[in-house]
Structure 1
Amino acid sequence: MNFELANIGRKIVGVGVDIVYLPRFAHLLEKHSPFDPRTRLTFDKITQKFMHEKERCYLSNLLIEENRSNPRLHEYMAGIWALKECSFKALSCCTSKDDLPPAQVLYAKMLYKTQNDEGVPKLQFDKMFEEKYPKYQRFSKSYEKFFSAHEFLVSISHDKDYLIALANLVERE
């Protein structure tokens, strides 16, 4: 199926964009290195604030296979951050911020980044959210219904010191 034809007529209900200065994340990795036992706990606390458990698992695998100077680590972290920021902005276009869960809940518990076989990023709603976090049950019920009818189309790009992410919240086909 031709991609353009598959997306014609889909209603966009929200748009968000975020830009990140990559040296900021490189500095974070220097200051709170996941490779240094003295700073690993702080590193883990930082990533728990904006990364879903599935993203942290992928990050752990990157840490095992990559060396300390590889830019993939800070690019991955920056990409997650930027996607979460722009997803919050896209959701805010069609939902009152008062109706959204706190940003940290949205970032670290509700949404997570994956990719398809071609490496195209995707942003997913955690279907286990309500089970794992009963405190947010009323949010979960409405968002599960919302995400069954809508999805994020996302893109990430980086060049030298900058990474940009875009999230379009669209009606599902």
Structure 2
Amino acid sequence: MNRVLIIFALCLVGAGCEKDNKISSSFASESREKVSESNWKVVVSKDEMRNKELKWLAVRSENNADLKFPYDGENRLQLDILDSKTGTPRVFLTIDKGQYDCGRYGCDVFVKFGENSVQKMDVSIHDVQGTDGTILAFYGNSAAFLENIKKFNSITIEVPFYRNGTRQFKFNTTGFSEAESKL
């Protein structure tokens, strides 16, 4: 829940909110609506005070990260795609718990769309108060990334973790266009 609220707050800041107009996550409410025959969920975050609503799509990995203590247990990666209907969609990766092995100036994440060759993505930690570095933001050609999501039914994303090496996460991305039509 905190992850959704933090992403919502980031979106408001990115959309041009002034510093004085930032909302506290306690004033926003969110919900998730699963789209039929799709792993994609429409995430809805409402700013009740300003009567604004933000919607985006999210899908969780099919597999667990299998990280060492203290980050062991259920631990999946979530792929969030915001502003998918614009020319500049934003892509975020969020781990339930753990620390990315990503320096101050970013790091590389590797992505495989379907059975195509592996591609490198440049990401950096999206450091927002309360996230403990669990969010990565993609700073590359997000429009091309989105086009590949629409074309392929599966992607694999490999992410580096501090003292845990790299982990690969598999996503079933079937039904993205149907889910996007619900936005």
Q: Larger relative CO (CA 8 A, sep 6+): 1 or 2? A: 1
Structure having the higher strand fraction is 2
TM-score when scaled to structure 2?
A: 0.32
TM-score when scaled to structure 1?
A: 0.33
Structure having the higher helix fraction is 1
